[in-house]
Structure 1
Amino acid sequence: MLKRTISALIGAPLFLGLIYMGGLYSAFLVAVLTLFALWEFMQIGEKMGIRTWSKLTTVVTVVWLASLLSGGAEWMVTVLVFWLLIGLGRLALTYPKTSLSEASFNILAVLYSVVLLSHLYLLRQLPNGTEWTFLTIFLVWATDTGAYLIGRQFGSHLLAPQVSPKKTVEGSLGGLLFSVAVALVFWRIAGGATLIMYVILAIIIGISSQIGDLFESALKRSAGVKDSGKLIPGHGGILDRFDSLIFALPLVYYGVILLS
């Protein structure tokens, strides 16, 4: 508990500070997070008995980050398409040495750990990106807090017992309500958009962040591990700490673009 508290007191201000400063600072943050997240994902794959393409996925990640951070958004779709073709092509050329599950896992490694998480940078770069990014982060935290408090007090119906035996339907609804409540506070303080937009984003974040948490739990259960890594004392790895954000960030990014 002490390690967890110390890590939060140090890590949270550093994380929020780099996002607030933006530019090269948030670019550095995203590059570090995605590379560690990819490494953890590959470690999980190895524990599952899957042959991982460490060198190839690292090269694709570097190319993706270079395109992203240099402002070359038009190249990002190109990188994704080529990565998909490379993965499927390797399966076609080396089957049965390369299995479909192996190719799928390695393709997913980049999509999940790198592409989805790097939307943190894309969201920060939007007009009013600081506010939208902080909104997403605090609503994810609010969802986690609400789900824990309500679930502990009133939870009786299990949400996904095979994945996370302690999560309940009541806790999930509590997390969603906390997300909407915090969004209303943001709307009153920051404004900048309509009330309905804040509510929609709160619902999106409240649902997607919980699904992201469950996905990472299912991934770890498949590998038989408790944590994705040990980088953050008391919290586990990057994927453990950012699993909820990974699902929420892209949805908020495209939601803001569509609703603005």
Structure 2
Amino acid sequence: MSIAVVILALLGLKEFLQIGQKAGLINRLWPAVVYSILWLAIFLLGRTEWMLPLAIIWFMLTFGSYALRYPNQSLASSTYYFLALIYPVFLFTYLYSLREFGVSWCFLVFLLVWLTDTGAFFVGNTLGKRKLAPKVSPNKTVEGAVGGLVMALVCGFVFWLITKQATLPAILVLSLLTSIASQIGDLFESALKRTAGVKDSGRLIPGHGGILDRFDSFLFALPLVFFSINLGLVG
């Protein structure tokens, strides 16, 4: 599974960097690609204790470059380079990390994200009137977002009935926060595409866009669930 995560991360990185190029935020791709490959190699070796130091070094390199090259390099450019390692490379690894807590938690995340999206779509199409973020995603509505939250709560309740993992209040709060995170992830990726003036992040999946189009919500939801369990808030 770790190999699959690395492949997804690299494909997501490719799309993210291409979006940055089209938006005029970055020009050189190789620094982010080389450093991300190094970071993922450390991930494959299981040396997770090196990941945070490497992320800090990348932070210093990207923003140090801004300081040294100012005004030829913008703050937005340095920020985008830094995010190339965090989103999607770092966030994708939580797809693997969450597995250590059991398959049921991985299944819950996928269900929460899918049902949030489904609930938002149907409620938004049926009852939607107030636009949620018209300049980012014109079709999304406040009513649809609430519908997604309700579906996530129902999913969390059913999950608790079946598994009896954690307490019901903890599962419901986690479901609510995961639903919010997944919707923010969706809007974030939509904003990136708007900035670059593109409809899809890529063309990897015919009719469905790229990797980021498929995993945008998961990238924000996965670390939330991971740390909620890891810190003992649920589970």
Instruction: Bin the TM-score by the shorter chain.
Output: over 0.9
Of the three residues 127, 149, 152, the one matched with 1:154 is 127
* Counterparts of 1:237 and 1:246, CA distance in 2: 14
2:51 paired residue number: 76
* Counterparts of 2:101 and 2:212, CA distance in 1: 28
What is the Cα deviation at residue 42 of structure 1?
0.7
Contact kept, 8 Å, 1:52 with 1:106, in 2: the verdict is no
Matched, 1:171 2:144: yes
1:249 paired residue number: 222
* Counterparts of 1:97 and 1:154, CA distance in 2: 49
Aligned residues: 233
2:5 paired residue number: 30
1:121 paired residue number: 96
Show the 5 A alignment for 1:64-213.
Answer: 64-124=39-99, 126-128=100-102, 130-213=103-186
**Higher deviation after alignment, 56-65 or 203-212:** 56-65
Report the AA paired with residue 116 of structure 2: T
**Higher deviation after alignment, 216-225 or 101-110:** 101-110
Describe the SS at the equivalent of 2:138.
strand
Of the three residues 24, 28, 46, the one matched with 2:21 is 46
* Counterparts of 2:68 and 2:127, CA distance in 1: 54
What is the Cα deviation at residue 52 of structure 1?
3.5
- What's the % identity of the aligned pairs? 49
Q: Over residues 167-220 of structure 1, what are the superposed CA-to-partner deviations in whole Å (9 max), with x where a residue is unaligned? A: 111100000000111111111222332212211210111101001101111110
Identify unmatched segments of 5+ residues in structure 2: none
TM-score (norm 1): 0.86
RMSD, aligned α-carbons: 1.3
TM-score (norm 2): 0.95
What is the Cα deviation at residue 123 of structure 1?
1.0
What is the Cα deviation at residue 58 of structure 1?
1.4
Report the AA paired with residue 177 of structure 1: V
Identify unmatched segments of 5+ residues in structure 1: 1-25
Report the AA paired with residue 85 of structure 1: M
What is the Cα deviation at residue 131 of structure 1?
1.3
* Counterparts of 1:226 and 1:28, CA distance in 2: 29
What is the Cα deviation at residue 71 of structure 1?
2.1
Describe the SS at the equivalent of 1:236.
coil
